[in-house]
Amino acid sequence: MKRKTILAHPASETRKKGEILTTQLIGNILVLNYWNDRVLRGRYCMNTATGEYEYWDAARNVWRQARLNTMVEHDPWCYRSINLKKRLEFDCPEDEQRAENAIAPKTKWQESDIFSRIYDWESDYSGQVRDNRRMSHRNRIERLMAQIPPIPDDFTEWLFRVAAHGQEYAFYDKTGASYSCTACGNTSPEQKWERAEGGKARHNDRAICPICGEAVTVKRRTDHMTYETQAMLIQNMTLDTSVSRHIDVKLQWSAGGKKTVCSEGIRLIFQRNYKVRPTKIYYAYINKSCWDPDPACFDEHNPCNRRIRETYLYPEGVREALKGTAYDVWMDLFPQLAEAGKKLDYNKLLIAGLREPDMPRVIEYLFKGRFSRMLRETAAAVSTWSGRYSGSLALDGECIEDVFALEDRQKINRFRQIDGGEQILEWLRWCDHTGKRIDDVTLQWLDRQKMSEEQMSFILDRMNPCQIMHYIQRQQKESYKGKSCYVVLTAWKDYLSMCGRLRKHTEDEMIFRPRELKRRHDEAVEECRIRQEELKEIEREQAADRMRDKYPGAEEHLAEIRERYEYRDDQYIIRVPARLMEIMQEGAALHHCVGSSERYFERIMQKETYICFLRRAEAPDKPYYTIEVEPGGTIRQHRSEYDEEPDIEKIRGFLRQWQKEIKKRLNEEDRRLAHISAQKRQQNINELREKNNIRVLKGLEEDFMEAI
């Protein structure tokens, strides 16, 4: 669009009021000048040769790539030509005819009005721009993918050697009574095949091929074998880029021989001279089930949810491909891991190299120390998103003892021999800290069952892991047949918890290690049900003891005011509780927050407010109303069961009488405390207003009864 040329031509003016369009033809550009009450609002321009359009916003003096309706209606999502026809008017017939001639109909079915034509021209141009942009993006990716080198010739041979560990098969042909060996590709009669130990070869037996002499696995009941895994290639592309290719691989054995089918899912392009991102990721936009896909079918989106998993790394060319990239800290170690055939999440390790500078050194410790399983789990413990390590190793450790947090070198050697992982390391650390020993059988059982120290902490102070293992296994045979170890452990923990509530002596072996766990567990459940109210009372009493220790002096303050605050008439009684336990019982009986919220105990301790009980004279021991009252007699709250207020008018009348009576009994200290309490009350109300807590404010306002 020739913007300067257009602005050099002044807009043709109008003398009419309202929303008026005047037109100009500047070269092959049609200009619609939009006037509103003789004020120029904008100039819409369309190239009649290409369909390109934009408008000049007169108010802001900027150009915008937008449609005509956006300039006029400011609604880009709703285009209705009828709205424009109703609102807009051409200044004169010549202006309208000029626009009609410049914007010709695209088809014979097109509507005849000029605004519909403009909309069609805009849509065609926008679609063409989108198609061109999409094609340019596609061509750029295809040019990049064309630079990726081919898969090495020995890739298939390497896969069978590393991933399948050289596994070979002999498939039986019933028709010919013969076996086909995948190692040499030859067929030989059944009579020549014998087991390695001697005798006729049967299904899944190991046998020696009579032709090539290779050890193979005999298959009489199937005609093929398949193994799926993932492989990774790191290759140089150009001087500035290299690529990491993640390929889903299917290895197949059949009577016809061996073959490999691949489905390359993800390509990571490493930039050597990067400014923003060191890596760009491209995903195959076909499903993994489509093996041997078109190598050009990659995009920046991931519609098929392709994922990187643990993989085997092809060793050739890794050093050269990583050199000079952001991941060159791995250029020496990765080829060694690949040559050793280690199946790891190499992609996570690449990311960790950017975020955890000590990770390469720890991985080298684990690899050269032959801690194979710990090596895999350490790589898997890296976050794909942040690159941070979340495992239990100390990456900043200066030696292997520091890394494992094990002081005993013998335990480290033992850890290597049993090829331990995170779970076993946790238990060896427990042995180090406690000075106790766990045998290998118990360690392996703990590892298989995924039993952590935290899960077994409830019983570890009374039984060692070996005893726990034997006890759980016995319960699985006798009481919990078919149940997992976790189910037994959970039932055991639940049983001991109930014993604690029932105040049984849980240090007694007869209690903490019952012969029949399920029966004793069920008995404890039934006893807890029967003694439910008693247990709740015990728990409340224990809580009250804690509150008494936490808020010292609260019960003494209640005792000081009892004589002045207690009152009665023919219908109602006001009582002052003697213990905090009574307040908790009152709250539980009436189902409100007085007994469960610690703020009331804190206020009693500080002499800000007190808690009193209102009872009916006919039922003096049955909870009815709970009163929160200030030292001067002002009532902050009065609530009955479930925060309701039955017979509130009668209650208020009695409370007024009570306020008048206790006012006569107050001393100077009460009046001083009443003044402080009023200030704290106002401060609390101000805080609630700032938080806009309307519900609580309204409740306090309804309950408030100031002492007169």
For residues 658 and 645, give the distance between their C-alpha atoms in angstroms, rounded to a whole number.
Answer: 18
Is 408:414 a contact under the CB 8 Å cutoff? no
Please, what's the b/e burial string for 53-90 (b: 16 or more CB within 10 A of its CB; e: otherwise)? Answer: bbbbebeeeebeebbbbbbbbeeeeebebeebeeebbb
Q: What is the pLDDT of residues 226-239, one digit of tens each?
A: 999 999 999 999 99
Each residue's pLDDT tens digit, 627-653: 999 999 999 999 898 888 888 888 999
Residue 48: what residue type? T
- Which pLDDT band, with edges at 50, 70 and 90, does 191 fall under? confident
Helix H or strand E segment including 698: helix 694-703
Residue 168 binned pLDDT confidence (cut-offs 50, 70, 90): very high
Residues with Cβ within 8 Å of 679's Cβ and at least 6 positions away in sequence, in order, are: none
Classify 42 as helix, strand or coil. Answer: strand
Structure tokens at 641: 């069961």
Nearest partner of 261 among 235, 236, 298, 224, judged by Cα: 224
DSSP element (H, E) containing 217: strand 215-219
pLDDT, residue 125, reads 92
**How many helices and strands, by DSSP H and E, does the chain display?**
26, 22
Question: Among residues 79, 83, 76, 90, which one has the least CA distance to residue 34?
Answer: 90
Phi-psi category of residue 644: left, alpha or beta, with phi > 0 → left and psi -120 to 50 → alpha:
beta
pLDDT surpasses 60 at 120:
yes
Q: Which residue has the tokens 């020995």?
A: 154
Alpha carbons 364 and 405: distance in angstroms, whole number:
17
Q: What is the pLDDT of residue 708?
A: 67
**pLDDT band at 423, cuts 50/70/90?**
very high
Say if residues 260 and 341 touch (Cβ distance below 8 Å): no
Per-residue pLDDT band for 530 (boundaries 50, 70, 90) equals confident
Amino acid at position 151, single letter: I
Percentage of the chain lying above the pLDDT 70 cut: 96
- pLDDT class of 290 with cuts at 50, 70, 90: low
pLDDT at 487: 93
Give residue 382's Cα distance to chain centre.
Answer: 15
* Paired tokens of 71: 């300039």
pLDDT tens digits along 310-331: 999 999 999 999 999 999 999 9
- The 10s digit of each residue's pLDDT in 672-705 is 999 999 999 888 888 888 888 787 788 788 888 8
Query: Distance (Å, rounded) from C-alpha 209 to C-alpha 502?
Result: 71
Q: Are 219 and 171 in contact (CB under 8 A)?
A: yes
More confident residue, 302 or 77: 302
Distances (CA, A) of 60 to 63, 64, 226: 9, 10, 68
Residue 206 pLDDT greater than 70, yes or no: yes
pLDDT for position 547 = 82
pLDDT at 417: 93
CA distances in angstroms from 108 to 80, 105, 113, 312, listed in the order given: 20, 7, 13, 63
pLDDT at 304: 86
Q: Please give the distance of CA 392 from its chain centroid, rounded to a whole number.
A: 20
More confident residue, 33 or 87: 33
pLDDT exceeds 90 at position 82: no
**pLDDT tens sequence across 535-582:** 677 777 777 778 888 889 999 999 999 999 999 999 999 999 998 888
On the 0-12 / 13-18 / 19+ scale of CB atoms within 10 A, 565 is buried
Q: What letters, b where the CB count within 10 A reaches 16 and e where it falls short, cover 304-323?
A: eebebebbbbbbbbbeebbe
Q: Which residues, in sequence order, are bridge partners of residue 638?
A: 627
What is d(CA 18, CA 90) in angstroms, rounded to the nearest whole number? 11
Give the mean model confidence (pLDDT) for residues 128-142: 91
The residues spanned by each domain of the chain are 3-128, 155-330, 344-437, 552-703
The shares of helix, strand and coil residues in the chain, as percent rounded to the nearest 5, are 45, 20, 35
pLDDT band at 296 (very low <50, low <70, confident <90, very high): low
Judged by phi (left if over 0) then psi (alpha if -120 to 50, else beta), residue 219 lies in: beta
* Whether pLDDT at 467 is above 80: yes
- Give Cα 188 distance to the centre of its chain: 57
Q: Is the pLDDT of residue 122 over 70?
A: yes
Q: 156 is written with which tokens?
A: 């298939």
Q: What is the DSSP string of 558-626?
A: HHHHHHHH-EE-SSEEEE--SSHHHHHHHHHHHTSTTTT-HHHHHHHHTTS-EEEEEEETTBTTS--EE
> Can you tell me whether residue 229 is helix, strand or coil?
strand
Alpha-carbon span 45 to 27, nearest angstrom: 12
Q: Evaluate whether 173 touches 179 at the Cβ level (below 8 Å).
A: yes
Q: Which residue has the higher pLDDT, 456 or 695?
A: 456
Residue 512 is predicted with a pLDDT of: 93
CA distances from 704 to 81, 637, 653, 701 (A): 65, 6, 14, 5
> C-alpha 239: how far from its chain's center?
39
Average pLDDT, the chain: 89
The answer on pLDDT for 75 being more than 90 is no
At 695 the pLDDT is 79
Helix, strand, or coil (residue 223): coil
pLDDT tens digit string along 598-621? 888 899 999 999 999 999 999 999
pLDDT of residue 81: 54
